[in-house]
Amino acid sequence: MPWLCFGQAAMSDFPLTAGPCPSPWGEPVAQARLKASPEDFVVEEVLGFEPNGEGEHLWLWVEKRGLNTDAVARELAAQLGISAALVSFSGLKDRQALTRQWFSIHTPASWAAGDAWLTKDAGEYRVLRALRGARKLRRGVHDANRFSITLRDVRGDQAAIESRLQLLADEGVANYFGPQRFGHGSRNIGQGLALLASRRAGRARRRDNRENLWMSAIRSALFNQVLAERVRNKSWSSCLPGDVLQLDGRSALFTPDLLDAEIAPRLVRGEVHPTGPLPGDGSSVITAEALALEQGILAPWQSICEDLAALRIPAQRRALRLKLRDPRWSWLDSDTLVIEFALTAGAFATSVLQSLAVLEEGQLDAISAE
């Protein structure tokens, strides 16, 4: 069965949940165990550029395990004796994993890179490279994340598993937001809905980073609802009249000319993708059949969409389909499978794994890299 993430009751008769999130490729073909150790889930940030070696910002390439990104940022600030507000990073990486990513720090201080692990709480980290840069590292600027995932105790027909992996490599997967976006038990959705209810009752307050996370969870859940329906009606990878398309791996959107003979082949090749909504403030960029479909799906939560718009959160679009970059896999033995692939920034490895295998209960919640 596809993973399910249940949220708390919404401000309508229809609870807003993060799932179910059906796979276009049917039921998983295997069962497996993930994260026997942090080294079973390796994530490496692909920035797409490097600092130029000069400037007022110290850039650190950090390897960590047993720590989340925020904890490392605070620890680096403490080591340098500066405010944590001066430490920046592009994406959040999981605590229960071995991860490598960049941090930038606005400081004249230096740092000698090395192989020694430094301990912090129940985890550890080490700085592998240290460079200077002219600018701070901003959120979401990295190009991709590279994953190496080891599945153990794999049960299932190996030929069927190989066939499913090839299908995912060739055709991609539905680009759902993963359960970690919604917090344990989807509490981020519940907190966000409570905040919207409070604002509607006139108890407004300035949003902080935690509340921004809750609003993001609500928008992500609404997107998942639209994507799930387009998977069910088999339009998740095709262009409906009035759709807006997105270039693969890019933020650029465009309205296609359905009479353009090149659109269909580009969709087949995965160069462009149909998009779904991240509701907020702004007029709709889709029309016709695509607009009618989205309005119908989101009708039970129209008041929530209106609240998001009232908060002046800009409406955005997200690709419905996710392509794997440079996918490969190998069997270490008859029941141990290593899968490697890169995903664009903001995509979730759960979108790949849920189309392949049923993992031991609770493990999908722990997979995180943005």
Cα separation values, 114 from 50, 106, 126, Å? 19, 21, 7
CA distances from 353 to 25, 57, 172, 217, 333 (A): 12, 37, 12, 21, 19
Closest alpha carbon to 189 in 209, 218, 210, 212: 218
40, 94, 248, 365: the active-site residue: 94
CA separation, residue 292 to residues 67, 288, 295 (Å) = 45, 6, 5
Name the β-bridge partners of 174.
321
Which long-range contacts (C-beta less than 8 Å, at least 24 apart) are formed by 266-269? 267/237, 267/238, 267/239
User: Exposed/middle/buried for 189, CB within 10 Å: 0-12, 13-18, 19+?
Assistant: buried
CB-facing half-sphere around the CA of 177: CA atoms within 13 A: 25
Mark whether 307 is an active-site residue.
no
Closest listed residue to residue 100, CA positions, set 89, 108, 109, 88: 89
Tokens of 155: 């049960």
Name the residues annotated as catalytic. Answer: 94
